[in-house]
Amino acid sequence: MHITLQHYLTVSALLFAVGLLGVIVRRNLLVIYMCIELMLNAANLALVAFSRFTNNLDGQVFVFFIITVAAAEVAVGLALIVALYRKRQTAHVEDLTLMKN
């Protein structure tokens, strides 16, 4: 059987689901951050697949921008986590209950 657009989209959906599950289940801020990267990569895969199968390069330009913005986002997010750790000595979401009650 030949590989079609559907195959790539299925892989992308599964990868997105794995990332989402990680965001919900894991309690470590850094691992949650990695799972967000997984979800971004799933979106990238879908965009590249669409770009290939519709003979249009715009999707790949979009992925290029997404990778750039993701790099900036990771830098800012990790700086936030480090600042948080310095203040509260934890990188665990269950210990961050300042807004609770």
d(CA 23, CA 11): 19
In the complex, what is the shortest distance from the CB of residue 97 to another protein, in angstroms, rounded to a whole number? 15
Burial of 10 (0-12, 13-18, 19+ CB in 10 A): exposed
Q: Which is nearer to another protein, 26 or 101 (CB)?
A: 26
Plot region of 75 (φ>0 → left; ψ -120 to 50 → alpha; else → beta):
alpha
Q: Which is nearer to another protein, 24 or 99 (CB)?
A: 24
In the complex, what is the shortest distance from the CB of residue 14 to another protein, in angstroms, rounded to a whole number? 6
In the complex, what is the shortest distance from the CB of residue 61 to another protein, in angstroms, rounded to a whole number? 5
